[in-house]
Amino acid sequence: MIVAAAVCPHPPLLLRELTGAQDVAAPLREACHGALAELAVAAPERVVVVGGAGSTAEHTDAPVPARAHGGHGPRVAQGGALPLSLGVARRLLEETGSALPVELRSVAHDAGDAEIAALAGGIAGRRERVGLLIMGDGSARRSAKAPGHLDERVFAFDETVHRALSEGDTGALAGLDSVLAAELMAAGRAAWQVMAAAVDLEGSAVRAELRYADDPFGVLYLVGVWTCGS
């Protein structure tokens, strides 16, 4: 049974050691911590993390890939570290002191409907109380200085996501266009759709709350919590 889902983005700069002397992502990290605290209130017995990556897979615990993004510490081949999205999730869970068992699942950025449905099917319908941690970013083309430069189509796309996460609208998330999402560099599309599909499978009511929505560096970051109950 899915009791709640926290939604967080996964920019490398959430890893504190990567942002230099200034903690440029402090408000975002604080919002993520708040979402995880809210998730804990729903008393899950296990946290299932889902984040976009190169391929769909289940991961055993591995180092956070900070070194690959320029941080200090031992060099870990990227194949031996967690994908970025799961690594950031791991770090957020550590920072909030979560002691729950954690299951780490990546979903391919280009995953199609069947792949998403299969992954959702493996998460929904369990007897234990499951807390989802869904790692995903909005588009990265929201201004001329954004990582992907400006693409005017992002505003409608991001608005759809913003509204869907605010209102608990699984249908709107399921309807996101995977090709458009890839063109807009929206790294959260597949993970959000896994959440939507899993919640739909259980059919329980959703109470949604968006806790943070901003694009300080041209990428839309969304933090929210869905609480599920009949």
Partner 1 sequence: MLRLRGREYDADTALVMAIVNRTTDSFYDKGATWDDGPAFERVRQVVDEGADIVDIGGIKAAPGEEIDAEEEKRRVVDFVAAVRAEFPDLVISVDTWRAAVGAAVCEAGADVLNDAWGGFDPGLAEVAAQYGAALVCTHTGGVTPRTRPHRVAYDDVVRDAIDSTVAQADRAVALGVDPASAIIDPAHDFGKNTWHSLELTRRLDEMVATGRPVLVSLSNKDFVGESLDMPVGERLTGTLAATAVSAWHGAQVYRVHEAAQTRQVLDMVASIRGVRAPARTVRGLA
Residues that bind partner 1 (CB under 8 A): 11-13, 18-22, 24, 69-70, 72, 140, 146-147, 216-219
Report the nearest approach of partner 1 to the CB of residue 20 (Å).
Answer: 4
In the complex with partner 1, which residue's Cβ is closer, 161 or 220?
220
In the complex with partner 1, which residue's Cβ is closer, 124 or 223?
223
Instruction: Find out whether 15 and 64 touch, Cβ atoms under 8 Å.
Output: yes
Report the nearest approach of partner 1 to the CB of residue 216 (Å).
Answer: 8
In the complex with partner 1, which residue's Cβ is closer, 20 or 203?
20
In the complex with partner 1, which residue's Cβ is closer, 18 or 172?
18
- Residue 61, burial from CB neighbour count under 10 angstroms (0-12, 13-18, 19+): exposed
Report the nearest approach of partner 1 to the CB of residue 19 (Å).
Answer: 5
Instruction: Find out whether 28 and 212 touch, Cβ atoms under 8 Å.
Output: yes
25 phi and psi, to 5 degrees? -105, 20
The rounded distance, in Å, linking the Cα atoms of 4 and 10 is 19
Alpha helix stretches (DSSP H) within the chain: 26-41, 84-95, 113-123, 154-167, 170-174, 178-183, 189-202
In the complex with partner 1, which residue's Cβ is closer, 221 or 226?
221
* Distances from the Cα of 182 to the Cα of 36, 73, 157, 221, angstroms: 27, 32, 11, 16
Report the nearest approach of partner 1 to the CB of residue 84 (Å).
Answer: 10
Instruction: Find out whether 84 and 33 touch, Cβ atoms under 8 Å.
Output: no
Report the nearest approach of partner 1 to the CB of residue 156 (Å).
Answer: 21
